Structures are given as structure tokens and as C-alpha cells.
Structure 1
Amino acid sequence: MTELQIGSLILVCTTLVLFSGVPIAFGLTVVSIAFLYVFDGPGSLSAVPRTFLDEISGFALLAVPMFVLLGSLIGSSRAGADIYEALHRWLARVPGGLVIANIGACGLFSALSGSSPATAAAIGKVGVPEMLKRGCPAGLATGAIAAGGTLGILIPPSVTMILYGVATETSIGRLFVAGVVPGVLLVAIFCAYAWAATAFAERNVTQPRDHYTLKEKIRASGTVMPLFAIIALIILALYGGYATPSEIAALAAMLAFLYVALVYRIVNRDNLWPIFGNAVRESCMILLIIAASGLFSYMMSLLYVTQTMADLLVGWNLNRWVMLLVVNVFLLVAGCFLPPVALILMTMPILQPVLEANDFDMIWFGVLMTINLEIGLITPPVGLNLYILRNVAPQVPLMTVLWGSVPFVLIMMGFMVLLCFFPGIALWLPNQMFGP
């Protein structure tokens, strides 16, 4: 068989295995071992244990369990509800202020948790019922949280960007900094859309809004001020170059532990055991996927599938922007079926040589790809955030959640186009801080 035929067979087998419901890590491992055995002989299996260990032995990956623990600690407390309440009190008199408060809460919570599903669940559990109770359209209420939750993989710290940095051997610090401006701009655009949509919906409706005194606003903000301090310390340590992302992750996890212990009194074993248990399970899942994806990439490289596919794409002699369009359409479609972690680790060994051959900046593409993968989190058939919102708001039909997220999908697609015309949106800040 030719390399392209082997690659096509790998694609079909991997798709069938992943859609069978087998865990991603186990599915990729089974496919890799089977193809190594059949096409390269039993001797090639001796590299399986070494490849597994090599993939998860990098110092940069120490940041993964630490950021996962950070998210687990924050997600286990009332931090999400408190962030939402504080923002709501300050924005209560603004048209669409309730929706804007939820989007802002998603941005702040995602900056701490680094997880899109955790952000959607934590903020949605509190925010959606409140928005529905105050007459906000169900589609806008759920769509705003579903889309706002996707920011968890763009606004640093981001586990997804760590894995992209490991897969492409690019600077994780630069990736983190590159995600800041696009993340803040997306939050601002989401808020502007929420304001416009709410103002249009309420143009003929007179509905009293909540009113809070300055004292009540300050009291609500007091609980979440330590969270702002944690974010500030992370930014100072990361952007000031005082520590590596792994060291910052450990510091942030320790500060989050002190925060939930002192503010929310989560100190006994019955409360802490589930938190650390969830963090261990999620970290092991991510690291197993990394190891399995490394084995999968090794198998495709050994069978010369990766190189052949890259040469084929380059050999098409497409305009570099047409090539980028093809790559992004592929990622959009694949992102509707596969989670971001698996997609990054499976596709970047093939895409990176093609992108570099067309002179695309890998830091810039990391931001572009992350926004692309965000869209996959709110589009069917997988659309993880859609199902999370359906669970936290069972009174809202899934189709309503889906249609409510469509405007935000269009906003993100438009922002990707803007990022292509103005790459400085992502590259200006890291170039200013670290140099070109």
C-alpha cells in the first residue's frame, strides 16, 4: 500500500474507533499499535513505552495538573456565583447589563479556571436562571453563557495553549500573552452584541431593573477581590518574566487553595477530597491523551504518512491564503466532532510543516486555531458547551440553546477574518514584551 492509502485507512479506522465511544487515549493507542504491528512489524512495538514516557516527561507539562487543580478549586466554591453577583450589581442599570455581567463573569472565571466546560457550568448554573427570571430571551441567555464559556481556552492560563505549545515547540509564555488582547476583544464584542440585542428586544417594553447602592456594590465586590489579586499576580509573574508557566501554575494553584480555604471555609477532608480527586482524574485524562497522541504521531511519521500528506498539501501550490482557508475549514469541521486537545495533538504534526512552508507565524496561528476550536465547542454534533447549558437549564430546549449561540459563532468567525487581516491583534503584545 502507498503512504496515502495507509493514511486514508488510518483516518477511517481512527474515526470509527473514536465514534464507538472508546476513550480517546485508549482509541488512539489501539489504532497506533495495530498499524505499527501490521505495517512495520512486531519489533516496532518496543518503542511504545518509550514514546509514552517521552511525551509526558516534559517540564512544560507540569503546568497542566496545576492549572487543572486551580480550576477545580475555583469551580468547587461559590467563586463563579460571587463574580457574577458583583458584576451584576455594577451593571444592573445598563440595558443588557445582566447578560453583560454573565459574559464578563465568564471572562474572569475562565482566566482562573482555563477550562471552557467548567466556565459554562459554573456561571450558567447561577446566571441562566437569573436571566430567565428577569425576562431575558432564553436563546440570548444560554447562547451568551455557551459562547462566553469558550473563552476558557483562549484567555490565559489555557491548558489548550500549553498543549499547542508542546505540540509545535513554540513558547508557551508567548502563546499566553498572544491570547490576552483577542480574548479581551472577544469579551467586549460579545458584550456589545448583548447590549444591542437586549436594547432591541426591550425597545417597547418597560421593565424595572434592580437598583443597588454603592455600599451594596462594594460589599459584593469584596469577596471577589482576592480573585483579581490572583489574576494580577499571574499576569505580573508571567509577563514580567519572573517565572516559567509551570512555576506560575503551581503558585496560582496554591493561592487558589488559600482563597477557597479562607473565604469559603473549604478546609476539611470531605470537601477537599472530591476537589483533588477530580483534578487527578482530569489531569490523568489529559496526560494520557497527550501520550497516546504522541504515539499516534510517531506511528504516522514512522509509516511516512505525515510527511507524504504535508508534501501533498504543499505540492498543490495553492495561494497561502487559500491554503489557510482550507486548513481552517478542515479544523472547523473536525472541531465539530473532536475535542480541542485531541484535535491539536493529532493534526499539528501534519499542519505545522505546511504552515511554516507558507510563512505563517505559529504563535499567531495558535490564537487563530484556538478561536476555531472555540466554535467547535458550541456547534453540533459534539458542542460540549451546548449540552452543559442544556443540563444546567433543563427548562430551555436544546434547539433554543443552539440558535442562541449562532450569533456568537458568526462573531467568532468574523473575528478570525479580522485576525487574518490584522495579525498584530495577537502578535503586538508578545512582540512588545519579548521582542519580535
Structure 2
Amino acid sequence: MSPIELGTYSVVAIIFLIYMGVYIPIALGVVSFVSIWLMRDNFELSMNLLKVAVSDSVMEYTFATVPLFTFMGLVVSKAGLGSDVYEVMSTGFRRVKGGIGMATVGANAVFAAVTGSSIASASVFSKVSVPQMMRNGYNPRFAVGVVAGSSVLGMIIPPSAMLIIYSFVAEQSVGDMFLAGVVPGIMLAFAYVVAIWVMGRLTPGFIGGRPADEYERMSWKEIASKTLPILSLITVVLGGIYTGWLTPVEAGATGSLVALIIALVRRQISLRGFWEALLETGHITASILFLITAASIYSRMLGLAGLPNELGDLLASSNAGFFTIMVLYVIMMLFLGTLLDTSSIILIVVPLFLPLVEPMGLSLVWFGIITVVGAEIGLLTPPLGISCFVIKATLNDDRISLKDVFLGALPFAGVMLIVLILLIRFPALSLAILN
């Protein structure tokens, strides 16, 4: 069997194993290790490449961003800053049709700027936003759909775990990826608000609800007390990276310290809560390190098999240009999004397409934004739709089925696809801040 055939079968085997429930890094690592062994008939070579993959992952300085930003997000969540921002947003949109939905999008966008986790956003706003919308007569499908749709902002607006994983796979600067994610994240949040406004005009029955008149107008002092902590944290983290005063690692450390101080001042974190945040940070960091290590040996396996070069030759012989390659890429991500989670898609597909995109002179930072946005659509589509499952599990409400969550999220998946097309057509949108 030729290396090309082995490489092809390996990719298929990895996808099959992940779909069957095998832990992602184990599927990537074991299949890649065995494939290299079979290609070269050399067990020692496989072991050496595995050692190199592990050492490269552990010794990478920028990997320190993972535990630091993870810890910061967990502390912010425990400090209750998400619900505070939601209350402020709700008062601002209280008299608009679908206003609480718009407030959920806005609050999720702000919350995403410090947590970087779609799962955390889905969990927090399922508890805070959905009950409030249902008390105000909103359609349950819209209520859960807007939470599911806006939760994906956590993976696009920096700091984002997926942007960090992509930066390791594509060997790009974490800071550049963070800055490139700002404009697309704001674009998507704005597009969601516009979509809700349009749905309120064209399909008011889908939204339902009435203006949330029970919210009294907040004083400026109340607004400041609820928003200044999280805004100051965003300013320290993203402002430090943007101005060049802080590296991403230093920004993560500073942000963690500021978040901890805020939680202590607000008396929202106990010694037990602090210990739980540290333990969860360790678990998440270890799992991401395992992912990056497995992705490293997977990339080496693809290189030995010559699969990216073969794919490039195939597309070149068919005279495939930029448009064709991007259409194939997006279709592949949308298809895999119905089966796999975002990190799996990034780890499997990106090493295949990077050798095709780089010679075309395209920005790999822009390509990373396209990858994350495209893969994030999978969080809203069945059968996997992780955000939808998290919302259903968090609510534990028999009145709302998993089908309701998926159908409610469908319009927002469509909005994401439109934004993705715009980002592909106009790369400057992703690179505006960098340029």
C-alpha cells in the first residue's frame, strides 16, 4: 500500500473513530503513530516523531496563554459579571421587539471578550436569559435559539481557545489571531441583532414576547457599577495586546490577576471556588495540550504521506482557483460540523489545506478566522451541535425539547453562513486592525 493510500485511509479512520466516540487526541495520535510505522516500516521513527511532537507542544512559550486565559474566564464566570452585563443590556433594549434577545447577543459578545468559551456562554445565558424571555412571553424556540446562536461568539471574539489551537497548528502569532478576531466577532454580533430586528418585523410570531417593562431604568451609577469591572478587564487584556505593551502571555497573566481582584472585591469567590477554578483550569489545559500534541504528530504523518501535495496537484490539474478551493473548504467544514466538534475540524482539515492556501499568497491569519467561523457553524447544527446540547442539559426543562433548540438556532446558523461568505469575499475585514 502506497503512502498516499495509507494517509487517505488514516484520515478516514480518524473521522470514523471520533464519530464513534473515541477521545479526539487518542484517535489522532494512535492512527498517526501506526500510519507512520506502516509507511516507513520503522517503529523507532514513529517513537522519535512522537517525542518531538510532545516536546514541541510542552516547550512552546505561547502555550502559556491557554491556562492563563482559561483561569481568567472561569473566575469571571464565578464573579457573576455575565449576569450584570445582561441586566444592563436588557434595560437598553427593553422596549424593542425582540429586545431581550438583542440584549442576550450584546451581553454574550461582551462576556465572550473575557471568557473565550462558547460552552461557558451557553451555560451562563441559558440560566440567565432563557427564563427571563419565557416570563415575558417569548417563543421558547426563539429564546433558546438566540442563546445558542450568540454563544458561538465565545469562540470568535478573543481570547478564544479555538484561535489559540489554530495558531499552534498553522504556526501563527496568537496575538495576531486575537486582533484579527475582533472585527469578525463584532460583525457577527451586529448581524444577529439586525436579524432579530428583521424577524421581529417579518415573523413576529417566531419571536413572540412583549417589551420587558418590569425593568426599571438604571441610574448611571448602577450601570457603571455593573459594567466598569468587565470593561476594565477587556481594556487591560485586548488593549495591552493591541498597543504592544503586553504579549498575549503577559495579557493573560494580567487579566487573570485583575479578574481575581474583581471577584475578591465583589466577594463572589471563596477559597473553595478559587481551588475549583484552579482544578478546572488544569483539566482544560491538559486536554488542550493533549490535542495540540496529537495534532503535531498528525501533521507529520500527512507530510510523510504526501497527502497535502497530492491534493494540491489534483486541484492544480483541474485548474481549481481560489473560489473553487474556498467552496470545497467551506463545504467540507459544514459537513464535518454535523459530525465533529470545532477542535476536531481544525486539527483534521487545516493541515490538509494549509499547503494549498500558503502558495497563493493568502494570509494564514485570515484563513484561521475563516476556519473558526466555518467550523463554529457546526455548534448549531445536528446531530452534534454541542452548544445546543449544553443548553438543553443546563435548562432541564421538559417544555423545551432538543428539537426546539436546533430549530431555534437554525436562523442564526444561516446568519453565520452569510457573515462567513462576506469574510471570504472581503479579507480586509479580518485584517483591518492588523493592517
Paired residue for 1:434? none
Paired residue for 2:302? 300
Paired amino acid for 1:420: I
Gaps of 5+ in 2: none
Paired amino acid for 1:421: R
Q: Which whole-Å deviations, capped at 9, do the CAs of 1:2-21 have from their partners, x for residues lacking one?
A: 23311221123212322232
Task: Determine which of 156, 166, 171 is the counterpart of 1:169.
Answer: 171
- Measured after TM superposition, the shift of residue 202 of structure 1 is 5.0
Paired residue for 1:113? 115
- Measured after TM superposition, the shift of residue 344 of structure 1 is 1.7
- Structure 1, 411-420 or 191-200: larger mean CA deviation: 191-200
Contact map agreement 2:136 2:209 (CA 8 A) in 1: no
- Structure 1, 86-95 or 244-253: larger mean CA deviation: 86-95
How does 1:386-401 map onto structure 2 within 5 Å? 386-393=388-395, 394=397, 395-401=399-405
Q: Does 1:231 align with 2:250?
A: no
Paired residue for 1:22? 22
Q: Which whole-Å deviations, capped at 9, do the CAs of 1:314-333 have from their partners, x for residues lacking one?
A: 33321221111111111111
Task: Determine which of 388, 410, 413 is the counterpart of 1:409.
Answer: 413
State the SS of the aligned residue for 2:157. Answer: coil
Structure 2 CA distance for aligned equivalents of residues 429 and 110 of structure 1: 19
Paired residue for 1:42? 43
Q: Which whole-Å deviations, capped at 9, do the CAs of 1:343-380 have from their partners, x for residues lacking one?
A: 22332222111012333222222221121011011111
How does 1:4-19 map onto structure 2 within 5 Å? 4-19=4-19
- Measured after TM superposition, the shift of residue 25 of structure 1 is 1.3
Give the 3 Å change call, closer, same or farther, for CA 228–205 of structure 1 in structure 2: closer
- Measured after TM superposition, the shift of residue 251 of structure 1 is 1.0
Q: Does 1:157 align with 2:159?
A: yes
Q: Does 1:243 align with 2:246?
A: yes
State the SS of the aligned residue for 1:166. Answer: helix
Contact map agreement 1:56 1:290 (CA 8 A) in 2: no
Paired residue for 2:328? 326
Paired residue for 1:256? 259
Q: Does 1:382 align with 2:384?
A: yes
Structure 2 CA distance for aligned equivalents of residues 122 and 233 of structure 1: 23
Task: Determine which of 290, 293, 302 is the counterpart of 2:292.
Answer: 290
Q: Percent sequence identity over matched residues? A: 27
Structure 1 CA distance for aligned equivalents of residues 350 and 36 of structure 2: 20
Query: Cα RMSD between the aligned structures?
Result: 2.1
State the SS of the aligned residue for 1:179. Answer: helix
Paired amino acid for 1:42: F
Q: Does 1:56 align with 2:58?
A: yes
Gaps of 5+ in 1: 432-436
State the SS of the aligned residue for 1:227. Answer: helix
Paired residue for 1:420? 424
- Measured after TM superposition, the shift of residue 71 of structure 1 is 1.4
Structure 2 CA distance for aligned equivalents of residues 241 and 171 of structure 1: 13
Give the 3 Å change call, closer, same or farther, for CA 145–426 of structure 1 in structure 2: same
- Measured after TM superposition, the shift of residue 103 of structure 1 is 0.8
State the SS of the aligned residue for 1:430. Answer: coil
Give the 3 Å change call, closer, same or farther, for CA 348–201 of structure 1 in structure 2: closer
Contact map agreement 1:17 1:27 (CA 8 A) in 2: yes
- Measured after TM superposition, the shift of residue 287 of structure 1 is 0.8
Q: Which whole-Å deviations, capped at 9, do the CAs of 1:222-248 have from their partners, x for residues lacking one?
A: 133211110011222111011111111
Structure 2 CA distance for aligned equivalents of residues 14 and 209 of structure 1: 49
Structure 1 CA distance for aligned equivalents of residues 283 and 47 of structure 2: 28
Q: TM-score, normalised by structure 1?
A: 0.93
Contact map agreement 1:4 1:309 (CA 8 A) in 2: no
Task: Determine which of 102, 105, 110 is the counterpart of 1:103.
Answer: 105
